[in-house]
Amino acid sequence: MDDSRYPQSTNSFYWMYQGPLVNLQTAINNSNDANEQAVAKILKSYFHWHMTDRWGDVPYSEALQGT
């Protein structure tokens, strides 16, 4: 049997920075609602947790500072 049980579609974490993490950082920066900011921070932490579990060290404090 040559089929793998694990998907091998991508080995890169860059799509998370280009998609959901940029959107969450925008919500944190532009929202005036403390509850909305808190939810965005929790989700941002969740994505970083998932990325470090899967790929090890990834950019954190240096990330998401560009335009």
With a pLDDT cut of 90, the percent of the chain lying above it is: 40
Reported as a pLDDT band with limits 50, 70 and 90, residue 3 is low
Interacting residues of 31 by C-beta distance below 8 A, sequence separation 6+: 37, 40
Mean of the per-residue pLDDT values for the chain? 84
Whole-model pTM over 0.85 = no
The CA distance from 24 to 19, in Å, is 9
